Structure 1
Amino acid sequence: MPVRLSRSDLRFLQVFEAVARHGAFSAAEAELNISGSTISNHMTALEERLGIKLCQRGRTGFRLTEKGAMVLDAARRLFKAIGDFDAEIGALKGTLTGELRIGLVDSMVTDPNSRISEAIAAFGGRGGDVSVTLMQDRPQELQQKVYDGVYHCGIGSFPHLISGLESVPLYDEQHYLYAATDHPVLAEDAVTPEALRQHAFIRRGYWRAADEKRLLLGPVEATVHQIEPQLMLILSGRYLGFLPEHYARQWVEDGRLKAILPDEVAYTCTFCLILRKGYRPTETLKTFLRDLRAAHGTADALS
């Protein structure tokens, strides 16, 4: 017989989605504001209701079953459809409603070229009843979540865009190579690209081979996926690595960091808005996108 979802079923599905996203019961407790035992009871009730084993859980950790992954995908499509329905009904009444879920990469707030806060201020000033969620992810995970519909849109630097997404440039970010002021390379008479080859470098985990060949001038001895851990490693005085100029500025002014060969060793990355191709945005999302591109002065953008 077909499953006719009740309000309780929707709640159980919300708990399941949160647990799957966090990868553990304990990690989902804070978001759901319920105990681990209650989460376990909800998961058991959902499995009994659907007649499907959703996950393996125990001493070995949490893992979705094959059917559990399919249910998760269906649940996310359901939540997205409900949110879009709320937004469309609100639009018919002339009111912005529903959810707006935005994914961001890290370390953007110190960039004066980023106008996301201004866009959110303009959007919020329009009134309505919209729940806004900002989440931070690594670039590849962020792209996948936009594609899957977990986020309505994403903002970040994506030099390698996955299939099924489209992007609109918003602004550029300048990166330089930095060393702590007590790093041995700065004690040398002259810093040259050849001299850099003798010192340990930090790579970004999402760089491709071409990026590494161009940017890693010395042996790779550390890997990061976000900017703040890279700053920590550089400040240790043991590694050289690239940072956004705006993010490093405070430590440069404090005398703790120095850019190395800024006229020779640097690169620029473009920050973009990304959406899933073919997705028909709700009026709520359309309105935010208009405010976002107006804040950045980009006229030819997705709508």
Structure 2
Amino acid sequence: MVQVSLIELGQVGDYEIRLLKVFKTVVECGGFSAAETVLNISRSTISVHMANLEHRLKLKLCSRGRSGFALTEEGAIIYESVRRLFSQLEDFRSTVNALHVQLSGELKLVASDTISLDERCQFPLVLSEFCRQAPDVFLQFETAPMSDIERMILNGEADVGFIPYHRQLDGLIYHSLYEETCYLYCSDRHPLFAETEDEIIRQGLVNARSVQAGIQSNPEVAIQMVGLQKAATAYYYETRATMILSGAYVGFLPEHYAARGVDEGKLRKLLPHERCYKLGIAAITHQFGRLNKPRDFFMRLLQSKVTR
């Protein structure tokens, strides 16, 4: 393993921090050209900054030429150190912001499929009140798969996540919000749509093509998949519903999500007393996360408004 010494670097000031930011961006963009737009400086200026950084560190950090951009072994080590450095600086900034009486800084939310639009979460009401009382907080709200959300919370990339509760991971706190019921549906294009006899439906499901989420979930969900022919996967409810509506597949959907299709006569529950399962919906936060007043205030608002 290469041993990197920063003894000769001397004091790290604003200029050195700027050079390290340039280096980090170049690495994450995969080269000088791609970093031009992000940094809003020319490739020649980036090259000068990189040369100055290498001169100060007395290390060759990367190679760039016809073969493309690549980190040296020393460059990879420096990049990991730089990434940790800026993460610690962000922690420091967030801690300072959290200590002020007035809420400021950023709040990063990330939700699994359809949760943000579920009226039981009361997100419009919560966000309206949050923005009224914390106008200086910059909000970021994204959608991602469950496994990504768990990782983002654990890595400090997001502050609050919203997922179906399907397992307990160390390092996460699960705040129960409400319970979701999922049923097996077919569309009006499917042969089982007009069938009235339960036994005929049971027999028909043996050969029916089903679309499933494609992920490992809790045991109750796994039990419901027994006997169904897995013919396709679609993680997001929107794409899964589209495949069910085609008439080629049956599949599970949350009751609230499928309600409109049922009301319009396009979807039907199949064996609702047998083919169903429940999912608890939870907000997750980092068990050992840094002091974060915007996050804590948001959670208090959410738990006071949520409809169970």
TM range (shorter): 0.7 to 0.9
The yes-or-no answer on 1:198 pairing with 2:207 is: yes
Deviations 1:42-92 (A, max 9, x none): 8x94996575768999999999x99759946962x5555444433433344
* Structure 2 contact 177–303 (Cα < 8 Å) conserved: yes
Alpha-carbon distance between aligned partners in 2 of 1:215 and 1:138, rounded to the nearest angstrom: 20
1:132 partner letter: L
| TM-aligned CA distance change 1:187 to 1:297, over 3 Å | closer
Match of 2:273 in 1: 263
- Which consecutive residues of structure 1, in runs of 5 or more, have no partner in the other structure? 299-303
Question: Closer, same or farther in 2 for the Cα pair 1:264/1:33, shift >3 Å?
Answer: farther
Shift of 1:224: 1.7
Query: What CA distance in whole angstroms lies between the structure 2 residues aligned with 1:200 and 1:130?
Result: 48
Relative to structure 1, is the Cα distance of residues 212 and 68 closer, same or farther in structure 2, using a 3 angstrom cutoff?
farther
Whether the aligned pair in 2 keeps the contact of 1:147 and 1:165 (CA below 8 Å) is yes
C-alpha distance after superposition, 1:195-234 (max 9, x if no partner) = 3112011121222484334334321000122211111111
Matches of 1:73 and 1:232, distance apart in 2 = 46
Deviates more, 1:187-196 or 1:146-155: 187-196
1:9 aligns with 2:16: no
Q: Secondary structure at the match of 1:184?
A: coil
Gap change, CA 1:209 and 1:113, over 3 Å in 2: closer
**Structure whose CA Rg is larger:** 2
Of 112, 115, 120 in structure 2, the residue corresponding to residue 113 of structure 1 is: 120
Question: 2:248 maps to what in 1?
Answer: 238
TM-score, structure 1 normalization: 0.77
Q: What does 1:90-239 align with in structure 2 at a 5 Å threshold?
A: 90-191=97-198, 192-208=201-217, 210=219, 211-239=221-249
Q: How many residues align?
A: 286
Paired residues of 2:19 and 2:50 also in contact (CA < 8 A): no
- Structure 2 counterpart of 1:254: 264
In the alignment, the residues of structure 2 paired with residue 256 and residue 62 of structure 1 have an alpha-carbon distance, to the nearest angstrom, of 54
Report the counterpart of residue 3 of structure 2 in structure 1.
none
Cα distance in 1 for residues equivalent to 2:164 and 2:191: 32
Q: CA RMSD in A?
A: 3.9
Tell me how far 1:146 sits from its aligned partner.
0.7
Gap runs ≥5 in structure 2: 1-5
What do the CA deviations read for 1:3-58 (whole angstroms, capped 9, x no partner)? 634235335535755x48xxxx98x999x5969x96xx58x949965757689999
Which residue does 1:301 correspond to in 2? Answer: none
Contact kept, 8 Å, 1:155 with 1:271, in 2: the verdict is: yes
Task: Please report the TM-score for the alignment, with normalisation by the length of structure 2.
Answer: 0.76
